[in-house]
Structure 1
Amino acid sequence: MEQTKTIDEFYDLTDAEDYFEFFELEYDKNLVNVKRFHMLKEYGTLIKTAFDNLKNDEPRLLDFLKFSLLKVYGEYKNGHAPSAADVWNMFETGKLGGCMSCTPTPGNSCGC
């Protein structure tokens, strides 16, 4: 049986690797080690919007936190960083599909 993640557990995370492990995401340890400060700074900017807008919807908030981490990681892996507005708009319009149990991708819903 899969353990449900909580926002309180998320608040206890401290290292970049902790976020990937919390959401059970694979990542390139070398990339995270080299870009950790920049990734976490951008991630913090992205998730501020979620905390402002989804504070009363924990499952959706956790989904956005996962989506944002994947987006930041993917963009840094490809050499550039996303804007907070772009990620929020993708999430709000459903252009970033997926859920907590799968890897979301732009325009592709997981069907869970």
Structure 2
Amino acid sequence: MSKYKEFQALTDAEDYFDFFELEYDERTVYVKRFHILKKYGEMIEKGKENVMTDESKLLDFYKFALISVYKNFENGYTPSAADVWSMYDNPSACGSCSTSTECNDVEEVTNGTHSCTSQPSISFN
């Protein structure tokens, strides 16, 4: 499996840090996990606009993006209330998948809890 395919299979914040062999404070990642992944996903989307055909350079960009986002949060950045509440104003189509706006593959997982089956976890493909 290529390194890029391995990256695409990652799901948890800690997995991204481990993949790039980066040190991180577990408490910071635990407390600010959602915001770190959200900002990381936004940076990756911006990177996709500059389509890179070299997987090595693309992974270098992804690593830099993760370091950049993490350092912001590690140094005390906290999202504004507007940033936090906007996610509730614009929920994803399935209600549980934070990366999709057109998810149609929703099924009940347990006791009325629904989950997106096309994106079972956060992914930045």
The equivalent residue for 1:20 is 17
Match status 1:54 vs 2:51: yes
Q: Distance in 2 between matches of 1:49 and 1:73?
A: 17
- TM-score when normalising by structure 1: 0.65
Gaps of 5+ in 2: 79-125
Q: Distance in 1 between matches of 2:48 and 2:16?
A: 16
Match status 1:75 vs 2:72: yes
Calculate the aligned-residue CA RMSD, in Å.
Answer: 1.7
Which is bigger in relative contact order (C-alpha 8 A, separation at least 6)?
2
Q: Distance in 2 between matches of 1:28 and 1:14?
A: 18
2:22 partner SS: coil
Q: How does 1:28-39 map to 2 (within 5 A)?
A: 28-39=25-36
How many percent identity over aligned positions? Answer: 55
Q: Distance in 2 between matches of 1:31 and 1:19?
A: 14
Larger C-alpha radius of gyration, 1 or 2?
Answer: 2
Structure 1 segments (4+ residues) deviating >4 Å: none
1:56 partner SS: coil
Q: Distance in 1 between matches of 2:4 and 2:48?
A: 10
**Structure in which a larger fraction of residues adopt helix:** 1
Number of residue pairs matched? Answer: 78
Match status 1:6 vs 2:8: no
Deviation at 1:52, TM superposition (A): 2.7
Q: Distance in 2 between matches of 1:11 and 1:52?
A: 17
Match status 1:63 vs 2:60: yes
- TM-score when normalising by structure 2: 0.58
User: Cα deviation per residue 1:29-85 (whole Å; 9 max; x = unaligned)?
Assistant: 00000000000000000011222313412111100000000000101001127xxxx
